[in-house]
Amino acid sequence: MAGVVSAAPYLDGLNPEQRAAVEAIDGPLLVLAGAGTGKTRVLTTRFTHILAQGKAWPSQILCVTFTNKAAREMRERVSELIGERVEGLPWLGTFHSVAAKILRIHAELVGLKSSFTILDTDDQLRLLKQILRAENIDEKRWTPRHLGHLIDGWKNKGKTPEKLSSGDGYGFAEGRGAKLYRIYQSRLKDLNAADFGDLLLHNLTIFQKHPDVLAKYHAKFKYLLVDEYQDTNVAQYLWLRLLAQRPDKSEQNLCVVGDDDQSIYGWRGAEVDNILRFETDFPGAKVVRLERNYRSTEHILAAASGLITANKDRLGKTLWTDDKGGDKVVVSGVWDGAAEARVISSEIENWFSKGRKYNDVAVLVRASRQMRSFEERFIALGLPYRVIGGPRFFERAEIRDAHAYLRTVKSDTDDLAFERIVNVPKRGIGAVTVQKLQMAARAMGVSLEAATRQLVKTDEIRGKARTALRAFVLDIDRWRTAGADLSHTELAERILDESGYTAMWKRASGRNGDPKAEGRLENLKELIQAMGEFDTLEAYMEHVSLVMELDTGAADDDKISLMTLHGSKGLEFPLVFLPGWEEGSFPSQKSLDESGMAGLEEERRLAYVGITRARERAEIYFTANRQIYGQWQSSIPSRFIDELPAEHVEVKSDTGYFGGENNMAGGYTGVSESFVDSFDASYTKPRSPGWNRYQQNQNKTIDGSATRKPTRKPSSNFKTGERIFHQKFGYGHITNVSGNKLSVAFEKAGDKKVLDGFVERV
């Protein structure tokens, strides 16, 4: 075999660790592949090597990926490596496509026919809606989407209705979640249908209840290859373990490739523990670490590696590169969010002026609401950009809906806006009723609103629809009257509240609800903040119209990439900007509150992913002040900045925005500590164009209620080691004191930085 291996051209160019991972064909293997270490090449070369060595036929290799794109890429690479088109790779695909193929063969074992239908999301929601109505459950309070997300979560954990515990589903419809799940599964069988989650769930049932079927697949698949193993959920993990753990341990030829440091999808069911316990699941498994990075420079890798070492739940590896030196990771502080967008835009213009491309540049944000300030700045300067993983801010459905409400209140002849929101949220005004309104409007030669006001007085429209339309036009009248006394931001908030639009998304984001709903609510709050930058509603709407018009002009493919950190995984760029690194924003306070230390570690992995997207240059930004949902807040730099190794970081401050020079040299105990001190020194000398608005609004929230004005204390009476109590975070002990800022190890909330005015000794 050695002679064959040495002559194999597809092995040329592999480094020793990559080659070891390729050639370790037999037995369980964990390939820990760090960012940019060539994991895809290893996986495809290993696939090729098994075929070339005659170890298995293509139909005897099970290879699962997370996306169809990854499966297509692997198929093409295997063909390229072998030198001819490889046909007959029936078991190379995504988890769900492979599971669907198995389910077609054994459908009768779970009460289905092989011709079963796979429901899409719309069909699933329609069925859930029917079930809620049949059970006399208020679908406005307990929405079909909420129930669907709850059921999907159970299926991702491998739970059939029989396996639910007494507490599962207790929070839905007064404890009826489990019962509704049973009804839903029964209805699916009646329809000879399965939803997406059923594909793996039914496979688990078949394998667990029919060992003869499982034995058949043990004999069929000689080798198993798994990509992105750190992103597997419980159901995927159980499915793989059943297929891989054969009675004869010498035949457990499972190779999983992944990176525990890049497990960032816990919010959608991924379990980082799956990769952490691989050696426990498969005793004697070989572990190969791919640590040589082919993407980034030495300083970028060292900064990212230094950051991730703060995580305790990891298998451990240290990335290195032959690309020595390069630019250090730049950490910059600016006065506020507007300054952040200006500075980054200026840096991009400088990059382009030196002959580089916009395609080289990415701006990676923690939350989609942060995109708005960058989009508007790019448009104002004529910088071409694309939003990856979602629509641009003003194109998002929730923003268009809000604008439609404002346009309807502003004008009684805006038929497009009226039609868009007449039944959003649902008021019982269906398509047939809207069609009647349109026909009447054309017949009378008036607007939709005018036609509606006429028809609610007659019998052409009856019942619930007429009642809803009458209430809707009364709402419009009330909002128009209120607009004379309220500011345009207050009016917008009232409309979104009284129309039920905000409540609709709050219900959707409830416990185990729609994961996207929380982001939509954040975007609506960001919308109110954006409106506050204009004197009138008319000025704001004109601005939006101009933005949308300018937005459509750039057709050039050379564009800046704007996306969330989650959406950036797997991508790379020469220049990466990482704005918004402040406590509460990143790490996300929501993640910390909901998941504690596990949430903090996932946030840190997300920071690691962000830095390692950069090939040549990475720049991190934070602000001294941030306007969040209309309220100005002074902020402190993210703890992740403190965790960056100083020797690989270049600290800058934008003196044009702070006023005066800030001395960043000397006394270094962490990047953010230096910045916080410089913020204290220049706090009274701001030069941001938004300073006047800040001074006027710093003591008010959007609704005008008073807020605590930030205070700055020169020193603290607290000492390291003292035990304290915080109203939100509970008990803890002080680990460091810097001025009036305390670093505290809280017993339940983990490590946090707080001001001493918010704690008391115990």
d(CA 454, CA 470): 10
Catalytic-labelled residue, pool 227, 260, 340, 347:
227
Interstrand relation of 723-726 and 573-578 (parallel, antiparallel or unpaired): unpaired
Does the bond joining 58 to the residue before it have cis omega, within 30 degrees of 0? no
Interstrand relation of 649-653 and 723-726 (parallel, antiparallel or unpaired): unpaired
For this structure, is 613 an active site residue?
yes
Query: What's the first-to-final CA gap in the chain, in angstroms?
Result: 70
HSE value, Cβ hemisphere, 13 Å, CA-based, for 28: 20
Among residues 287, 268, 267, the alpha carbon closest in space to that of 276 is found at: 287
Q: Which ranges of 229-336 would DSSP assign to H, the alpha helix? A: 234-244, 273-276, 278-281, 298-308
* Burial of 227 per CB tally in 10 Å (0-12, 13-18, 19+): buried
Q: Which neighbouring-strand residues pair with 311?
A: none
- The radius of gyration of the chain from alpha carbons, rounded to an integer in Å, stands at 29
Q: Contact at 8 Å (CB) between 289 and 21? A: no
d(CA 255, CA 30): 6
* Burial of 110 per CB tally in 10 Å (0-12, 13-18, 19+): buried
Q: What DSSP element (H or E) covers 618?
A: strand 614-623
**Coil, strand or helix: which one is 563?**
strand
d(CA 359, CA 560): 5
Which residue type is seen at 318? T
Angle value at C-alpha 509, between 507 and 515, nearest 5 degrees: 150
**Coil, strand or helix: which one is 269?**
coil
For this structure, is 262 an active site residue?
yes
Phi first, then psi: give them for residue 563, nearest 5 degrees.
-160, 170
For this structure, is 413 an active site residue?
no
For this structure, is 39 an active site residue?
yes
Q: Contact at 8 Å (CB) between 254 and 278? A: no
CA dihedral 689, 693, 699, 703 (to 10 degrees): -140
Please list, in sequence order, all residues whose beta carbon lies within 8 angstroms of the beta carbon of residue 167, skipping any fewer than 6 positions away.
Answer: none
d(CA 495, CA 537): 13
Among residues 263, 231, 227, 232, the alpha carbon closest in space to that of 609 is found at: 263
For this structure, is 228 an active site residue?
yes
CB atoms within 10 A of CB 685: 9
Q: Write b or e for each residue in 47-81: b if 16 or more Cβ atoms lie within 10 A of its Cβ, otherwise e.
A: bbbbbbeebbebeebbbbbbeeebbeebbebbbeb
For this structure, is 227 an active site residue?
yes
Catalytic-labelled residue, pool 228, 298, 360, 601:
228
Among residues 515, 526, 525, the alpha carbon closest in space to that of 590 is found at: 515
d(CA 203, CA 2): 39
Catalytic-labelled residue, pool 65, 124, 230, 262:
262
What would the two tokens of residue 371 be? 């995109």
Label residue 708 left, alpha or beta by phi (over 0 means left) and psi (-120 to 50 means alpha): beta
d(CA 470, CA 308): 59
Please list, in sequence order, all residues whose beta carbon lies within 8 angstroms of the beta carbon of residue 145, skipping any fewer than 6 positions away.
Answer: 125, 508, 513, 514
Catalytic-labelled residue, pool 328, 372, 569, 613:
613
Among residues 427, 467, 424, 473, the alpha carbon closest in space to that of 448 is found at: 473
- Give the catalytic positions in this structure: 39-40, 227-228, 262, 613
